């Protein structure tokens, strides 16, 4: 019995949260990796673009709520997402037209494009804060839990409860559907294949008649979908605050690099690698050991490897180790 309790404990505090957080990171990391693979620069505006998409989703949610539209048990934000995506794609194409296009045509080095993306980061951050303000916002409605800890205890008769929030299941499901569609698109359709070709070798792709304008536009459209959905899911699960989104850029970058930058599947797994290691290393295992070990060997301290304040340190250390031993990432990078 104690052993099952211990497993439930780990599921409740490590597995489910890490899977959710990992999915959110994975969506962001695929966004980073796509931009890097096809447009060939590190996009420092990632976090702020995600917060822009989330902001749009929140505004639409409020609008629908004021109309009295709702999905019952599901959050209203789900209806708002498609509209927010259109808004986001429009914004991204606009930035591309007025900012990035010029440097792409000039064949500027990636570093210069990265600097330009910092300019976009400043502007996007300002726009988000001017429109919706810098404060913490929750926009979740509908049924909060699928299983509450108390109910779980009653049903199974265990000491440990397992609480699953509906946003967690929603995040994991949506991520799975989105990512599998994306991989199907990249690997099976003609457009997807031409994107891969363009990422592999630009000149050769141009020679074989691939239209670079179309590729770039589709990349931004996919990026818009990923950024909006990733950001909104994070906001539903935790809360929306522009500053947190800006900071999320760091683990997202770490995930993209760990997975091999330019490789969407690597980025997808990279998100989970970062999320699981952050949570595994900063979790206090005291209760777990109390269940597993006999009473005489119970630990005194929290049995926590690192204090939770060092979450970033974990993702960075993984990054350093990967860069030192496998510079192209766990899955070989730079192939789309």
Partner 1 sequence: MRKNLNVIAAYSIMMGLIILVGIFQSWNIALSIFNLCLISAVMTMGANIQWGYAGLINFGIMGYTALGGLAAVLISVNPVQEAWSAGGSNILFSLFLIIGMVLAVRYVLKKYDKSKLRTYIIATIIISGIILVRFVSEPGIEAIEEVNPAKTGFLGGFGLPIIFSWIVGAVFAGGLAFIIGKVALGLRADYLAIATLLISEIVIAIIKHEDWLTRGVKNVIGLKRPAPYEVDLQQTDWFINLVEKFNFSKLNLIQDFSERQIALNQLVIEGSSIFVKLCYSGLFLVVVIILLILTQKALYSPWGRMMRAIRDNEEAANAMGKNVVKQHLLIFVLGSAIVGIAGAMLVTQDGLFTPGSYRPMRYTFLIWVMVIVGGSGNNFGAILGGFAVWFLWIEAAPIALFVINITTSGLADNHFLKQHLIESVPYFRFLIMGIGLLLIMRYRPKGILPEKIEIK
Please give the residue ranges that form the binding site for partner 1 (CB under 8 A): 41-42, 99, 102, 110-112, 114-116, 118-127, 129-130, 133-134, 246, 250, 253-254, 257, 307, 309-310, 312-313, 315-316, 319-320, 323-324, 327
CB of 113 to partner 1, least distance (A): 9
Name the residue nearer to partner 1 (CB basis): 21 or 253: 253
CB of 313 to partner 1, least distance (A): 5
**Lookup result for tokens 């699953």:** 164
**φ and ψ of 57, to 5 deg:** -60, -40
Q: Which two tokens stand for residue 160?
A: 């440990």
Name the residue nearer to partner 1 (CB basis): 43 or 167: 43
CB of 240 to partner 1, least distance (A): 16
Q: Which two tokens stand for residue 122?
A: 């400043």
CB of 243 to partner 1, least distance (A): 8
Burial of 229 (0-12, 13-18, 19+ CB in 10 A): buried
Name the residue nearer to partner 1 (CB basis): 192 or 262: 262
CB of 311 to partner 1, least distance (A): 8
Q: Which two tokens stand for residue 248?
A: 């999320």
Q: Under a CB-based contact definition with an 8 Å cutoff, are residues 69 and 79 in contact? A: yes
CB of 237 to partner 1, least distance (A): 22
Which 3 state secondary structure label does DSSP give 145?
strand
CB of 333 to partner 1, least distance (A): 11
**Lookup result for tokens 């760990």:** 258
Report the half-sphere exposure of 34 (CA within 13 A, side-chain side): 27
Name the residue nearer to partner 1 (CB basis): 133 or 150: 133
Name the residue nearer to partner 1 (CB basis): 126 or 176: 126
Name the residue nearer to partner 1 (CB basis): 42 or 79: 42
Name the residue nearer to partner 1 (CB basis): 12 or 317: 317
Q: Under a CB-based contact definition with an 8 Å cutoff, are residues 329 and 261 in contact? A: yes
Q: How many residues would you count in the chain?
A: 336
Q: Specify the DSSP element, H or E, that contains 164.
A: strand 164-165
Name the residue nearer to partner 1 (CB basis): 25 or 116: 116
User: What is the rounded CA–CA span in Å between residue 295 and residue 83?
Assistant: 57
CB of 95 to partner 1, least distance (A): 10
- DSSP annotation of 76 reads T
Nearest to 316 by CA among 248, 266, 250, 265: 250
DSSP for 254-300? HHHHHT-TT-HHHHHHHHHHHHHHHHHHHSB-HHHHHHHS-GGG--S
């Amino acid at each position: 019995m104690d052993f099952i309790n211990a497993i439930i404990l780990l599921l409740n505090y490590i597995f489910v949260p890490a899977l959710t957080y990992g999915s959110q990171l994975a969506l962001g990391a695929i966004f980073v990796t796509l931009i890097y693979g096809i447009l060939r620069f590190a996009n420092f505006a990632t976090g702020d673009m995600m917060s822009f998409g989330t902001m749009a989703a929140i505004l639409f949610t409020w609008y629908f709520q004021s109309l009295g539209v709702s999905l019952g048990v599901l959050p209203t934000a789900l209806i708002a997402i498609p509209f927010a995506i259109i808004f986001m794609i429009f914004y991204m194409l606009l930035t591309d037209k007025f900012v990035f296009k010029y440097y792409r045509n000039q064949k500027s080095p990636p570093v210069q494009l990265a600097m330009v993306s910092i300019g976009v980061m400043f502007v996007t951050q300002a726009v988000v804060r001017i429109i919706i303000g810098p404060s913490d916002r929750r926009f979740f409605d509908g049924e909060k839990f699928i299983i509450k800890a108390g109910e779980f205890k009653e049903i199974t008769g265990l000491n440990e409860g397992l609480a699953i929030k509906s946003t967690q299941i929603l995040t994991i499901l949506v991520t799975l559907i989105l990512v599998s569609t994306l991989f199907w698109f990249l690997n099976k359709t003609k457009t997807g294949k031409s994107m891969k070709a363009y990422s592999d070798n630009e000149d050769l792709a141009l020679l074989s008649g691939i239209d670079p304008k179309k590729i770039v536009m589709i990349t931004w459209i996919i990026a818009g979908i990923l950024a909006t959905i990733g950001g909104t899911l994070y906001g539903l699960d935790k809360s929306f605050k522009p500053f947190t989104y800006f900071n999320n850029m760091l683990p997202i970058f770490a995930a993209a690099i760990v997975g091999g930058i330019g490789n969407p599947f690597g980025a997808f797994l990279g998100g989970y690698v970062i999320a699981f290691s952050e949570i595994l290393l900063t979790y206090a295992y005291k209760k777990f050991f109390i269940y597993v070990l006999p009473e005489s060997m119970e630990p005194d301290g929290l049995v926590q490897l690192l204090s939770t304040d060092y979450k970033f340190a974990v993702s960075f250390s993984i990054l350093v180790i990967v860069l030192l031993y496998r510079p192209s990432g766990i899955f070989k990078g730079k192939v789309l």
